[in-house]
Structure 1
Amino acid sequence: MYSLYNALLIQHSKQLTSIRCAEQTIAQIHRYFEDVVLENNLSALVIEGLPLMPERSLRDLARVREIGRAAQRAFFFVGHTDALNNLPLRVNEQDREPILLRRAPEDTVFERFVVIADARFSALLASVRNTEEDGAESEGDEVIWTFEPDVVYSALEYLMARVAAERPFQAAGFSTAVRTSMPKATSLQLTVSVTTKLARLLQEQAGREIAVNRIATAIRNSLELDSILQTTVNEVGRALNVQL
């Protein structure tokens, strides 16, 4: 089955533009989307797809618990051998427990996504790791995001079909949660807040990439260690916006 990223690009090619980002940057964007729910008390439906991790940090576990506690309903697509399958997902009995949707063992697609549907806000982030023609993993992951309710609606429809095919015994509960949380609009204030954070983060990434490229050029063009080191110091300082 297609990843959510691929399915949406096929269906909404004119509305979505894919960019390539470092996996670390995408993980940070993912957290920005989660923060909208946590910081604004959104009683939203939250559906996330997490990359497979045989081990999870306490920070990862705490984050999943937070989302489960804050959201109206929270679902997490996880790998068959992901550590979350064996960890307690709530601390107190009164907490809402996030629901795990295990991917099939043969599902090896490296994807990440978060879908938020609420009466006040709708948002979507989806990424996938592609491979080159020679089978090697490409540098960086492809990512899309949007706040358009119709695209979020398409994502929810796709995920319902996916759960029905892969986890039929969980399909009824998942569909009920989705049907009662269909996106109707999106808050301009929340959208601007997230977009501002995204722009700042991507600007920082671009600055780091330029610095790395300049350092690499200096190494190729010079055999003088002092010159290379000075270029490195200058570019790191410029990327961090400090004087060194």
Structure 2
Amino acid sequence: MAHRLVLGAAAALPVFGLIPVMPSEGPLFPDYDCLQATPKPGRDAAIDWPAWLGIFEKVSSKKWMDYSNKYLEMYMDSDAEAYLQHVEECPLGVLNAELLLYTVAQLQGDSESAAFYAERAIRGIRSLPLHIIAGSRWPLLALLTSEELRKQLTPSGRDVANDTILNCENLEEPLLNWRRYQSNFWGDDRKDWYENSIRYVFSWQMREIPQALASECPLGYLLTTLIK
């Protein structure tokens, strides 16, 4: 596979705390988390998806990269045929690998590799329903909301974290106080982000004019949907 990254002893990946979405009983949906994934017999580049998932559930996020190195090396060594088999066996695991490698590439300043893995990750995200991504046991949302990742420019050089349009800061008379809403997820306020965001998530605006809010601030409205 092209765009190999040097992994080694990676720095900790600061990630947001998330409230897991788990069923009260029985399966929430088919085995998207690949708990029963079994590679086809005779595969040389097989990845033990359940074992890899276990790392993210049992190990501190500061050690995720250290424990994931061997799996990422196997993934990057995969040829085109092996890659397609990975996707068939565990699409969410593949998406998780792409996000990890994108994060590493960004932190290393490797814009070419970051663009490569970003494109693959975007394809994976587009192919899966939102409730599957949000409810997965793979730390997809945690990786997407990495604080260190926010500080990095995109492969095209765009500063998304401080983009006034994406963050809805350029609105003269916003229908919702998006800036104050967003501040709940930054700095010292973020430790109580769930409690503090409820007033916005269940505001009269969200209840009565949701389409107008979605048009005014797409990312803010998407965040609200995820919290709900």
Q: TM-score range, shorter-chain basis?
A: under 0.3
Please identify the structure whose Cα radius of gyration is greater.
Answer: 1
- Answer 1 or 2: which has greater helix percent: 2
| Higher strand content, 1 or 2 | 1
| TM-score in terms of structure 1 length | 0.24
> TM-score scaled by structure 2?
0.25
